[in-house]
Amino acid sequence: MTSVVGRGSNRAQLAGVLLVALAMAAVSCSSAGQRAHGSADSASSSPSRDGVRQVATTVGSPPLRATLTLPAATGPFAVVVFMSGSGPNDQDETLGPDKPFRDLALGLAADGIATLRYDKRTRDYPHALNPATFTAVDEYVPDALAAIAYLRRQPGIDPHRIIVLGHSQGGTFAPLVAQRSPALAGVILLAASVEPFGAALLRQTRYLATLPGAIGSQAAAALPRVEVTVGQLDGPSLAQDPPDTVLAGGVGPAYYLSLEHVDPVATARAIPQPLLILQGDRDYEVTVPDDLDVWIHGLAGRPQVTVHQFPAADHLFIDGTGPASPADQDTPAHIDPEVTAVIATWVHALRGTS
């Protein structure tokens, strides 16, 4: 684990512990107990299963690696832009052996819906980001808008049926993307987080501490220091740190301070686009009481909100049984096909899509 230096504060001795907790939380984006098995515009195209085409392309500037997945039929197609969760994710949102975004892209293409997925900037250009100025908005919004602009130029894509889909922290920022791109046809939120960062990290670490074996003992040992660190990140001292202070995840105070100014529920309530919200009941990273219920309460009375819960699904919408554990990551699995079916049905219903 790379150490993190916290200049101008006493966070240096604690930041490494926080990174461990963050890494444990990221690894635990997996199914629970036992899992169900199962240049930009001149890109090259390769055939995939059932005639689905996977087109290697790029998004944004400097360019991010991306894939445009097209159905076998003739367009114009509705298209879904994927925004992945926290961390330097690749375009498939690969976690261990699992690739949920690839599963979803191929499944939607088989149902006549195109998708665009891309690496995060924190993966392709981590050393080009300035910790003194880099914010959470910078991490998500500009590249999603660039992806939307790219799609509007593509033959075979219906520019009036572009939908943005955000998973986890990507779902936190998907409504902001829709606000800044009002011509979007809809917004899909998969396990979209609204709980404050510090509270979520503490809750996840406390959960991990209840698990048996080395995972639980490591989390339990880290918990007291994580509590102190989160208290500092959430406290007034954060705003007093020098801008070039490097904190957990290699970002500076600007990143964590920017999270305090994002209200995804209020933004979602104010935008005109239809909303589809999906949640796995066995997800402990983004949970029903701490996140989904907040969405439902905050959007009460807003028209065109559809909510689906999946009782056996985890944070990646992979079905399983028993308490979720990072150990589940050892077993390859695939996204619940019912999730893909629900999304496809909703997308086809937008603006009379057939």
Are 107 and 337 a contacting pair, CB within 8 Å?
A: yes
Nearest to 28 by CA among 336, 337, 320: 320
3-state secondary structure of 277: strand
Residue 228, amino acid = V
**d(Cα 264, Cα 286) in Å, to the nearest integer?**
14
Q: What is the 3-state secondary structure (H, E, C) of 145-199?
A: HHHHHHHHCCCCEEEEEEEEEEECHHHHHHHHHHHHCCCCCEEEEECCCCCCHHH
From the candidates 315, 319, 325, 328, give the one annotated as an active-site residue: 315
Are 277 and 295 a contacting pair, CB within 8 Å?
A: yes
Residues in the chain: 354
The tokens for 133 are 């100025």
**d(Cα 179, Cα 184) in Å, to the nearest integer?**
9
Whether 168 is catalytic is yes
Edge-to-edge, what's the strand order for the sheet holding 114-118? 45-47, 53-59, 64-70, 114-118, 77-83, 157-167, 186-190, 275-280, 305-310
Whether 283 is catalytic is yes
Whether 315 is catalytic is yes
From the candidates 168, 181, 193, 325, give the one annotated as an active-site residue: 168
**d(Cα 173, Cα 117) in Å, to the nearest integer?**
16
Strands (E), the chain: 32-35, 45-47, 53-59, 64-70, 77-83, 114-118, 157-167, 186-190, 275-280, 305-310, 320-324
From the candidates 283, 319, 328, 336, give the one annotated as an active-site residue: 283
Cα 130 to chain centroid distance, Å, stands at: 22
Active site residues: 168, 283, 315
